[in-house]
Amino acid sequence: MTKIGLLVSAVWVGVVLPVCATAQVPPVRLATLEWVPFTASNLPSKGLSGEIVSEVVKAMGTTLKIDFHPWTETVAKGESDPAFSGYFPVWVTEERAKKCYFSAPIGKTVTGIGYLKDSPLQWKTPADLAALKIGVVEGYPNGEAFDAAVKQGKQPVEVTTSDTNNVKKLVTKKVPAIVIDKAVLRYMTYKTQAKDSVAFADKTLVERTMHVCFQRTPAGKSLQEAFDNALKKVDIGRLESAYLKKIEDPGH
């Protein structure tokens, strides 16, 4: 190659490389719901899951915006509104997989039955629950066996719009039991009089990992890949322990 050719090549590399190096991941806007302690507009970082996602997005080198809506609206906006990148936190379901590029896990949930201690509840199979009208939240999948029993008319349920309403129904004895996440029940009751009156059944319905659902578009796929790469740099266990200690014992 001639000296002129080398010079031109050097200039070309000098022009192209900085452009590539400064290429940025677009801002991430996610829809979510009020689901303490995982997501909550009045908690630091918008909740435990918000804390984890915020750390990951920071590692991606971009910014995060979280919008709160009722669950059904959260799903609609997260899956198809072009103003959003997706929604979180979500469980993996076969139906949802048709509309999402799921991130790697950002935590997990333990879903089971909350009940009042003065009305002890022991169960081994879904059939054991059939005699009870159990409170559930609209749109939440509650495990294949339980959902199948509901669909077949074998399991009576009372549907409400939020975990907050569900817990209120339990403590006021409007329903004898509710389907709820273990951490959610603990957080909603640990500073209230209900703390000593509610319990979480030893047998659970389902344990699931939580994810971000990125829209099923080329841009969504790119974000999901960038998110998963950044997630490898984040210690979820450490973040969870520190966060729960901070919100449950803020004085220490």
Alpha helices per DSSP H over 114-213? 144-151, 163-171, 182-189
pLDDT of the residue at 24: 73
pLDDT of the residue at 13: 42
Q: Where in the chain is the domain with CATH 3.40.190.10?
A: 26-108+209-248, 110-206
The pair of three-digit structure tokens given for residue 54, joined into one six-digit string: 């915020």
Residues sharing a CB contact under 8 Å with residue 201, sequence separation 6 or more, in sequence order: 112, 113, 114, 115, 121, 122, 123
pLDDT of the residue at 192: 84
C-alpha to C-alpha distances, 19 to 8, 13, 15, 61, 195, nearest whole angstrom:
17, 10, 7, 16, 57
pLDDT of the residue at 3: 44
pLDDT of the residue at 23: 54
Residues sharing a CB contact under 8 Å with residue 129, sequence separation 6 or more, in sequence order: 113, 123, 146, 149, 155, 177
pLDDT of the residue at 240: 92
What is the sign of the dihedral through the CA atoms of 165, 143, 67 and 73?
negative
User: How high is the mean pLDDT in each 10-residue block of the chain (252 residues)?
Assistant: 45 42 76 94 95 97 96 95 97 93 97 94 90 94 93 96 93 96 92 88 95 97 97 95 84 56
Question: For the structural domain made of 26-108+209-248, what CATH number should be given?
Answer: 3.40.190.10
At the fourth CATH level, the homologous superfamily of domain 110-206 is: Periplasmic binding protein-like II (3.40.190.10)
pLDDT of the residue at 26: 87
pLDDT tens, 22-41?
457 789 999 999 999 999 99
State the Cα–Cα distance between residues 172 and 180, nearest whole angstrom: 16
